[in-house]
Structure 1
């Protein structure tokens, strides 16, 4: 039987603290959860906030959420693994998504993806060594008229050619060196 709390309760939960998990982040998540009128049906909302705070949902964060809500860790993991939005691995500062839908694929998206893998030195769903980029291949971004499409974060690049990739990557690398 799953017990769902209808009102946030102050539960003393040990916060895992390590080099990747500063206590301030757990405090921010705890404040968010405690500020909810109810936690019933709020697991996805809480996980969204946790991923916003931590950048991803590692095991320790998932277990913290489970303990805080008084639900099994397997239930939290089930939700995290079901929704493709959630990730259990760190992401780069910028996510490059290559549309592999039919229109993009027939117009060379597979070649664009392969060239990005070469240029970044990673495979799909991996992060570059410097932590700047995550590369993903996605099913369809709904911009078929612009095929092939590459998205960097929320910015759409249409009719992308292999020779465009250096300038696209350079613009984001330059942003990172300025920060």
Structure 2
């Protein structure tokens, strides 16, 4: 397997995981939680553990949009594209995030600070349009609010970096 960190994290997850295929999804979720994404060496280890092919595991991963094959940024932004958010300007919110960060949906900034995704619904329709950054929900968004929120994240990053 690849790096020791990847190897030991995946081995730890699989050590308590039954080998039946119905346990593949929880193992994928735990692996992504531990590593931030699902690298090739983790996919191979999962395939060996569940006695299946890497292509089968890859097929499961690519079927579900929650899984990532590339590392995500430190801050994962999820803009809601549900009906309430769409009607209240969700597409403009996504466009503003893209403009502010210089990336498109599905991309990560070069500094690995932000990844932008859209999701079907974040279940905060009463405060539409909404987005999540990591586990923090932001609602009643405008372009100005998006700019302010992202500026706060950037300022926090600058303050937390060693001099």
Give the alignment's TM-score, normalised by structure 1: 0.81
Superposed, 1:109-148 pairs within 5 Å as 109-148=90-129
Q: Which structure: larger Rg? A: 1
Q: Which residue of 2 is the match for residue 171 of structure 1?
A: 152
User: Is residue 117 of structure 2 the alignment partner of residue 151 of structure 1?
Assistant: no
Structure 2: give runs of 5+ residues left out of the alignment. none
User: Is residue 69 of structure 2 the alignment partner of residue 88 of structure 1?
Assistant: yes
Q: Distance in 1 between matches of 2:58 and 2:136?
A: 30
Closer/same/farther in 2, CA of residues 69 and 139 from structure 1, 3 Å limit? closer
Superposed, 1:4-153 pairs within 5 Å as 15=1, 17=2, 22-36=3-17, 38-40=18-20, 41-153=22-134
Secondary structure of the residue that 2:116 maps to in structure 1?
strand
| 2:10 and 2:45 in contact (8 A); partners too | no
Equivalences, count: 159
Give the alignment's TM-score, normalised by structure 2: 0.89
| Structure ranking higher in helix proportion | 2
Secondary structure of the residue that 1:126 maps to in structure 2?
coil
Structure 1: give runs of 5+ residues left out of the alignment. 1-14
Closer/same/farther in 2, CA of residues 117 and 39 from structure 1, 3 Å limit? same
- Superposition CA RMSD, Å: 1.6
The structure 1 segments of at least 4 consecutive aligned residues displaced by more than 3 Å after TM superposition are none
